[in-house]
């Protein structure tokens, strides 16, 4: 109930930004407004995640295995702004309304995601335990500094460890703390990727 209410209020409150971003994407590069991709969800079930498209269609990686790097030439000018402010994540509120995601939880990964150059599940044998709950728009790993690249084994393992720590201690109070930290860190400070 908290997820659905929060997502509905979030979409209502962010509707003007939603429309403005859609217009900016359409006006500055050809292709769809939304980027859709299969991700792991609850109990390893696949679902299609929604994000605002931030890359040129012809340069994008639909598999999601090629991670975005700082200064990535595949990212559009508008896409850079969306990524830096995390506004590209707003359409995931639709996934929450559909019951595929929560507001808070482990971030959903693409199947076959690499970490330190190997499959994530090969690097971290307990990787799939993070799918014991619905994935979230934000999570403990993200607000703890483990967002972005998984090029190093240490960062990739720490991300999963934070996800499992969240699952072990989740509560409405922890969710509220993570949401407030996300707003401050991602939207206000602009520390997105």
What burial class does residue 19 get, using C-beta atoms within 10 Å of its C-beta: 0-12 exposed, 13-18 middle, 19+ buried?
A: exposed
Distance CA 50, CA 13 (A): 18
Helix (H) or strand (E) holding 180: helix 172-182
Which carries the bigger pLDDT value, residue 14 or residue 60?
14
Answer for the pair 85, 54: CB distance below 8 angstroms, yes or no. Answer: no
With 90 as the cut, is the pLDDT of residue 147 above it?
A: no
Domain layout of the chain by residue ranges: 2-188
More confident residue, 137 or 67: 137
DSSP string, 38-104: EEE-GGG-EEEEEEE--B-GGG--TT--S---TT-TTB-HHHHHHHHHTGGGTTHHHHHHTTS-EEE
Top-confidence residue, 33 or 147: 33
pLDDT over 70, % of the chain: 90
The mean predicted confidence, pLDDT, of the chain is: 90
Confidence of residue 69 (pLDDT cuts 50, 70, 90): low
Residue 28's nearest CA partner among 60, 51, 58, 54 is 54
- pLDDT score for 193: 46
Least confident of 70-84, 103-117, 176-190: 176-190
Q: Are strands 34-40 and 46-52 parallel, antiparallel or unpaired?
A: antiparallel
| Range with top average pLDDT, 69-73, 94-98, 145-149 | 94-98
């Amino acid at each position: 109930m908290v997820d659905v209410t929060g997502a509905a209020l979030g979409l209502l409150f962010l509707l003007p930004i939603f429309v403005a971003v859609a217009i900016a994407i359409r006006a500055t590069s050809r292709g769809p407004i939304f980027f859709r991709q299969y991700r792991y969800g609850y109990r390893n079930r696949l679902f299609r995640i929604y994000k605002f498209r931030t890359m040129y269609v012809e340069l994008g990686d639909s598999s999601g295995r090629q991670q975005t790097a700082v200064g990535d030439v595949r990212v559009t000018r508008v896409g850079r702004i969306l990524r830096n402010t995390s506004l590209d994540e707003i359409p995931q509120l639709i996934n929450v309304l559909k019951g595929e995601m929560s507001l808070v939880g482990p971030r959903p990964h693409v199947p076959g995601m690499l970490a330190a150059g190997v499959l994530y599940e090969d690097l971290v044998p307990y990787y799939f335990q993070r799918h014991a709950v619905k994935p979230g728009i934000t999570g403990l790993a993200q607000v703890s500094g483990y967002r972005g690249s998984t090029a190093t084994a240490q960062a990739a393992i720490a991300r999963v460890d934070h996800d499992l720590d969240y699952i072990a201690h989740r509560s409405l109070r922890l969710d509220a703390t993570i949401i407030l930290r996300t707003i401050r860190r991602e939207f206000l400070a602009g520390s997105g990727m």
